[in-house]
Structure 1
Amino acid sequence: MKKILMIEDDLELAEILTEYLQQFGFDVVTEDDPFKAVSILKLEPFDLVILDLTLPGMDGLEVCEAIRERQDIPIIISSARSDVTDKVKALELGADDYIPKPYDPRELEARIHSVLRRYEAKSQQKEESKSDFKCDMSSMMITYRGRNIDLTNAEFGILSYMIAKQGLVVSREDLIHNVNAINEDSSNKSIDVMVGRIRNKLGDKSLIESVRGVGYKLLK
């Protein structure tokens, strides 16, 4: 469940948005005091911030700057201030999106999903840049330490999925349901055979660790 901090002094609006977003599985924490909000962010992990600009005691632009100085977290500005200067300044300070009030809650929900997808993709790219594996989905090519690995479509699907989940345990069921090149009727044995072939092609069988009774883990 994604956790959102909504910094908003219009409590009625905050309640409406909170109830709406909870329908989509978001855990929303509301704070109308910008100073407390900044403190909360230091103490608790959040996945995204929804930030109003007109706040008591501290301007929302200052809040945006204070957050961005300390954290790389998605920030969506939700504001009734129509001055384009505010919008430009907010984006310059590191806000990821700016949605002017009033708006339909459905638009906010769509923008949240869009911003989170961008951050998740960026995070995955950062992780891959640290890895010895490079995966090009468009050309269906995987390299390991600069060496191209010759893979079948199913092997490419398995290894690319493991790379995306590198360091985490991947079950055989995960592979069957998330790799298009694998038939859903495939047995655990056939998955094991394909993973064995991938190990041989990598030239280092220790890279893919077997997790008894569950599946596999591609080591970092």
Structure 2
Amino acid sequence: MPRILLIDDDAQLGEPLAAYFARFGLELHQATRPSEGLARLREGGFDAVILDVMLPEQDGFAVCRAIRAEGDVPVLMLTARGEVMDRVVGLELGADDYLPKPFEPRELVARITTVLRRRRAVPADARLRFDGLVIDPVTRSVERQGEAVELTGTEFELLLVLAREPGRVFGRDDILNQLRGHEAELYTRAVDIVVSRLRRKLEPLAAIKTLRNAGYALALRPQAHG
């Protein structure tokens, strides 16, 4: 059963949410303080994190930064409704998704399930090889000119979408649908943020081409699979 860590200082939220999650085969645990949450994450055994932005000790952005510095566990951030800047900052820090408060528990479960399904999916195809870049869908690893590149879950999924059809131009909505499902709230600025972050991590390779008013494509030449 997947184990989810909720980092939220609302102590009354955890128990009813855990009971709801259990109906979908998910085990939810709560930490009400960032220090407690980070300590529990370091102990291991969690498959995803639900992280509130408004926290005591330090805000959720600082906590997300700390989580990303230590690993790639998927992070879903809870933001204030209408606070688009919170979502932008969270995505820039490496969050995999966001959900505005107040939220419907059913939607939260759906978002977490989507994140977990992306992470568990183990494609059967061989490694994808390009000039200067190797992508392994099984181990979810990336090598740039022989050196390992650390990507967040969303960054890796985006790269995989582009790499499976090199040269094809993917519009922002195409990418969002591939990453988060057709019923996801479209938020095209999020795609630009993730592409920008991914492009920086793949430098000095000119890996991702931008076509004005059209979208993005992988600009590297494929090599023979092996």
CA offset at residue 15 of structure 1? 2.1
Aligned residue identity for 1:106: R
Q: Secondary structure at the match of 1:94?
A: coil
1:98 aligned to 2:98? yes
Give CA deviations for 1:177-209 in whole Å, capped at 9, x if unaligned. xxxxxxxxxxxxxxxxxxxxxxxxxxxxxxxxx
C-alpha separation between the residues in 1 aligned to 2:49 and 2:57? 19
CA offset at residue 125 of structure 1? 4.7
Q: Which residue of 2 aligns with 1:69?
A: 69
C-alpha separation between the residues in 2 aligned to 1:57 and 1:50? 17
CA offset at residue 109 of structure 1? 0.7
C-alpha separation between the residues in 2 aligned to 1:127 and 1:57? 45
Q: Which residue of 2 aligns with 1:129?
A: 127
Q: Which residue of 1 aligns with 2:45?
A: 45
Q: Which runs of 5+ in 1 are unaligned?
A: 136-220
Q: Secondary structure at the match of 1:62?
A: helix
Give CA deviations for 1:37-77 in whole Å, capped at 9, x if unaligned. 11111112210000001000111000011001111111111
TM-score, normalisation: structure 1 = 0.55
After TM superposition, the structure 1 = structure 2 runs for residues 14-25 of structure 1, keeping only pairs within 5 Å, are 14-25=14-25
C-alpha separation between the residues in 2 aligned to 1:70 and 1:125? 26
TM-score, normalisation: structure 2 = 0.53
After TM superposition, the structure 1 = structure 2 runs for residues 130-209 of structure 1, keeping only pairs within 5 Å, are none
C-alpha separation between the residues in 1 aligned to 2:125 and 2:58? 36
Q: What percentage of aligned pairs have identical amino acids?
A: 45
C-alpha separation between the residues in 1 aligned to 2:61 and 2:116? 21
Q: Secondary structure at the match of 1:5?
A: strand
- Length, aligned pairs only: 130
Change (3 A) 1:129 1:40: same
Aligned residue identity for 1:63: V
Q: Which runs of 5+ in 2 are unaligned?
A: 129-135, 138-226
CA RMSD, 1 decimal: 2.3
Q: Which residue of 2 aligns with 1:34?
A: 34
Q: Which residue of 2 aligns with 1:110?
A: 110
Higher-RCO chain (CA-CA 8 Å, sequence separation at least 6) = 2
Change (3 A) 1:3 1:126: farther
Report the structure number with the largest CA radius of gyration: 1
C-alpha separation between the residues in 1 aligned to 2:125 and 2:35? 33
